[in-house]
A and B are shown apart, each in its own frame.
Chain A
Amino acid sequence: MNRSRRRNCNAVNAASLARWIVMTAFVAVAGLSYVYLTLQLYHLGERRKAVENELVRLRTQNDIASGQIAALTSRSALQRRQKEGYLTMIPISEANIVRLTIPARAAEEDAIQPVANPSTTR
């Protein structure tokens, strides 16, 4: 490379370039963040609406159930059902009784014991 050509070359200002790159990157990140956050806002709005709808649905179901309970347990309804013969005492048949197996007990367990824990110290 001859001397004249070397003289025509400009040196790259690294600091300036870095500054521009950082600034551009900052603006780009800021822009992308803005877009991302805006989308997040819409997305959260959608979720909020969905949760609100679900709450309304559950509350509605609860209110309907409360209404049904009130209607079925009202004095008039119970009296009507009593007249119709739906409310009667039915003895439980032997076949429907599930008995737990009574564990075998040692003879001394049935002995009368003082109402206190046995002493752990001697």
Chain B
Amino acid sequence: MRAVILNGSREGEDSLHSAQQIIVAELTRRRWAVEVFLLREMEIHHCVGDFACWVQTPGVCLIDDAARDVARAVIQSDLTIFLTPITFGGYSSELKKTLDRIICLVSPHFMKIEGEVHHEPRYGRYPHMMAVGLLPQADEESEGIFRTLVRRNALNLHVPAHVAGVLLQGEGREAVQEKVTALLAAVESVQ
């Protein structure tokens, strides 16, 4: 089984590093192959909204940068993990920059899901999704927005199953380990 971690920490934010280490160790223990992308250190441009990845070079973004490597790794994985500081309830700009660039993984064609219009899947199978957000302190509103965003992404990206968890700044290693283990167990239960 293959897992891909997209770490959306911004410059100077290292709080998610220990969570990443715990996730990698836990996945390795469970015999997963893990690939980590520290997004801020990669050359990834912002999406320009031209839809070239749908109508000019279908399935591949026209911008030839590291986002292509991420898109390939994500679709070939069994589990994609988002790591992000929760930013106004959403993802950091670093993580979002990459997500904006992987819409090439779905098709431009429309379909209905639960009565809503969405884009059709491009591939026959998609990875599960696990999103881990970091908050400076407990915050119901931010956490609610974050969980809703993850759920909406899972719907639009045709993710078969998703889980979301929130870590708090300064939480001890044991607490983080416990939360991460519970999230991974939830994902594995639906594999």
- Tell me, yes or no, whether A binds B: no
- Chain A residues within CB distance 8 Å of chain B: none
**B residues at A contact (CB < 8 Å):** none
